[in-house]
Amino acid sequence: MIEIYVGATQNNLTNMGGWGVVLIDEEGQVNRYKGCEEGATPQAMILRAAIEGLAKTEQGCEAKIFSKNQYLVLGINDSRQRRVNRKLWDELEELLSKRHVQSEYIARHRWLGEAQILAKEATGS
C-alpha cells in the first residue's frame, strides 16, 4: 500500500498558500513534493496536496492518505462534507474513483511533520 502524508499552510505575509506531500511507495521509496498558489486557503492547499500525491500513483493502486486536517479526511470519507472548494473536490474525486484510497486522521507523525515543512518552504516561510 502506498502511504501519502499531506500538509498545508498559508503565509499571510506573502499571501501564498502552500502544500507538501511525502509519498512512500510500496518498495519504501520516499518521494517529496511541494507547491504553492497565491491567495489559496489552507483548506484548498490540503486538497491540492492530496490531489498532487494521488496524481503520482497508478490507477487501481491501493493508497492511504494521512492528514491532521479533518476537513480532508471527513470529506474523503463523506461527500456531504464537501461544501466549499468544489472544483478541487471534483478533481480529487476523479482520482479517488480510479484508485482504492483510505484516509486517516493522525495528529503527529514524522512524515506528516515533513509534509508540513515542505508546505511552509513552498510559501517562503
Q: Domain ranges for the chain, please list them.
A: 2-123
Residue 54 has pLDDT above 80, yes or no: yes
Q: What is the largest CA-CA distance in the chain?
A: 41
Q: Residue 81: its pLDDT value, please? A: 84
For residue 38, name the pLDDT band (cuts at 50, 70, 90): very high
pTM over 0.75: yes
* d(C-alpha 70, C-alpha 75), whole Å: 8
Contact 23, 30 (CB under 8 A): yes
**With the CA atoms of 120, 122, 123 and 125 taken in that order, what torsion angle do they form, in degrees rounded to the nearest 10?**
40
Residue 125 has pLDDT above 80, yes or no: no
For residue 56, name the pLDDT band (cuts at 50, 70, 90): very high
Q: What is the mean pLDDT of the chain?
A: 95
Contact 5, 114 (CB under 8 A): yes
Residue 83 has pLDDT above 90, yes or no: no
- CATH class of the structural domain 2-123: alpha beta
